[in-house]
């Protein structure tokens, strides 16, 4: 079976897990790393999670064989609510994981909360560290210290149903205005379909609209930032994205609470003619009703021929922070 780069990366998570202290590392909070006990791992629940689980299970078997006194438990947590779950775990040492997968945008906040361990020394000693993406390495570094290992990097683009576009005689949108009008035209002709699946909880789907109109989330320099979300350009981008929530495309009652996984699921299951997804969404789409009936193009910008600035998706594996207390492995 040929594995995607992302699934190969999944294998690296447990391969580097030995740097993390097991959750059941003793009854006292010492600075000594333990190498036996239970290692708790939290990974993201993906759309079509089975291939990821299969890879992780195979690596898990090898890891436990090489570390006979260590038991590994893996839990898959929803991406949309991972911040609340992980931050809550930082405040509950007895249930906190030892190793987590998290988004690169979460690094600074988790470090500020004291939830991640400084693994600068371990990362430097890792043979494959030199092969990791420089930007991804930067995203796990705060004040010169490394708090995780880059896991994978992906980019987002526009998925669209070629059969629907052919049937309705539509051209692929070249601007965001055309994208919006095309989505509404599709929904008018085929009310059972979202023209484009959008989500009120899909921040990374909304940001390309904001950036394409010249907006920013924040501006600043030398570590000091101020919100720019209320600027005229930012408002234009927000208005463009939110115009897609309505009975003429993706009804707010259904779509306001949708996140990125939900929009990909809608497209893969044949309920949407377009969606903003990542290269990491490919396996889920291929496993759904849209298989063989879709294509992927860059998300258009404001002007014809331009490409909207897109957020790169990057996730990281990291050890949770200070040693956790719990029952001794001998018990």
Domain ranges of the chain: 5-154+315-319, 155-311
Residue 321 has pLDDT above 50, yes or no: yes
Instruction: Record the pTM.
Output: 0.75
Give 56-71 pLDDT, tens digit per residue.
Answer: 999 888 888 888 888 8
Residue 324 has pLDDT above 50, yes or no: no
> Residue 319: pLDDT band by 50, 70, 90 thresholds?
confident
The position carrying tokens 């790393």 is 33
37-45 and 99-103 beta bridge pairing: parallel
21-25, 156-160, 237-241, 288-292: which range is least confident on average? Answer: 21-25
Give 205-245 pLDDT, tens digit per residue.
Answer: 999 999 999 999 998 877 788 999 999 999 999 999 999 99
How many other CB atoms sit within 10 Å of the CB of residue 236?
16
Return the CATH number of the domain spanning residue range 155-311.
3.40.190.10
Are 152 and 314 within 8 A, CB to CB?
yes
Mean pLDDT of 98-110: 87
- Look at domain 5-154+315-319 and name its CATH class: alpha beta
- Closest to 265 measured CA to CA, from 202, 209, 206, 309: 202
CA distance 46 to 278: 12
Mean pLDDT of 144-159: 89
The position carrying tokens 């969404």 is 281
User: What pLDDT score does 103 carry?
Assistant: 82
């Amino acid at each position: 079976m040929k594995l995607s780069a992302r699934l190969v990366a999944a294998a690296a998570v447990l391969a580097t897990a030995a740097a993390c202290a097991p959750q059941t590392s003793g009854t006292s909070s010492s600075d000594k790393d333990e190498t036996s006990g239970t290692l708790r791992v939290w990974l993201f629940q993906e759309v079509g999670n089975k291939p990821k689980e299969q890879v992780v299970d195979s690596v898990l078997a090898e890891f436990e064989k090489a570390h006979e006194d260590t038991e590994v438990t893996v839990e898959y947590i929803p991406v949309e609510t991972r911040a609340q779950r992980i931050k809550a775990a930082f405040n509950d040492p007895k249930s906190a994981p030892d190793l987590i997968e998290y988004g690169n945008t979460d690094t600074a906040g988790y470090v500020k909360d004291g939830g991640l361990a400084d693994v600068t020394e371990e990362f430097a000693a890792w043979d494959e560290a030199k092969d990791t993406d420089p930007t991804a390495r930067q995203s796990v570094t705060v004040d010169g210290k490394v708090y995780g290992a880059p896991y994978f990097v992906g980019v987002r683009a526009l998925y669209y149903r070629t059969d629907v576009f052919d049937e309705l005689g539509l051209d692929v949108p070249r601007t965001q205005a055309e994208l919006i009008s095309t989505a509404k035209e599709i929904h008018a002709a085929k009310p059972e379909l979202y023209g484009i699946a959008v989500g009120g909880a899909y921040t990374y789907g909304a940001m390309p609209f904001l950036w394409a109109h010249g907006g920013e989330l924040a501006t600043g320099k030398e570590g000091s930032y101020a919100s720019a979300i209320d600027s005229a350009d930012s408002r234009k981008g927000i208005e463009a994205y939110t115009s897609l929530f309505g009975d003429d495309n993706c009804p707010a009652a259904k779509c306001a609470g949708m996140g990125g996984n939900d929009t990909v699921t809608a497209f893969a299951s044949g309920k949407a003619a377009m969606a903003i997804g990542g290269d990491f969404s490919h396996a889920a789409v291929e496993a759904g009703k849209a298989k063989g009936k879709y294509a992927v193009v860059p998300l258009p910008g404001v002007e014809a021929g331009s490409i909207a600035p897109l957020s790169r998706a990057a996730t990281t594996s990291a050890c949770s922070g200070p040693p956790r207390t719990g029952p001794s492995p001998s018990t």
